[in-house]
Amino acid sequence: MDNKDVMNREIDLAFIKIHILHHAAEGEVYGLGLIKELGRHGYTLGPGTLYPVLAKMKDRGLLHCKNRIVAHKQRKYYRITPVGQQLLDATKDKIRELYEEVTS
């Protein structure tokens, strides 16, 4: 991987985390549902990428997780925490400012 690819990956992961926080603020989300939703936004990622991101976000207090049994399988559902909401709100302000600069 060259530097350009590494930088693109880092930027994509940042956007993915923002998407996760946004959707977790709207309601409960789970891994496969997020993979499909992120795919609609042009991101191609699998469980091996997404689940570690969700685990780190949970460990950092940005997401809360509940385990449920669905169709005889355990599924983890995530919701945003107050700390995650504060981060999302601050990030939205930064996104607005960046958008204004980049598109003008």
Report whether 19 contacts 36 (CB < 8 A): no
| Structure-derived torsion over alpha carbons of residues 39, 98, 102, 8, reported in degrees to the nearest 10 | -40
Strands 63-70 vs 29-30: parallel, antiparallel or unpaired:
unpaired
Give residue 97's domain range.
3-103
Domain count, the chain: 1
Q: What is the CATH number of the domain that holds 77?
A: 1.10.10.10
Report whether 18 contacts 91 (CB < 8 A): yes
pTM above 0.85, yes or no: yes
| pLDDT tens string 8-43 | 999 999 999 999 999 999 999 999 999 999 999 999
pLDDT at 3 over 90: no
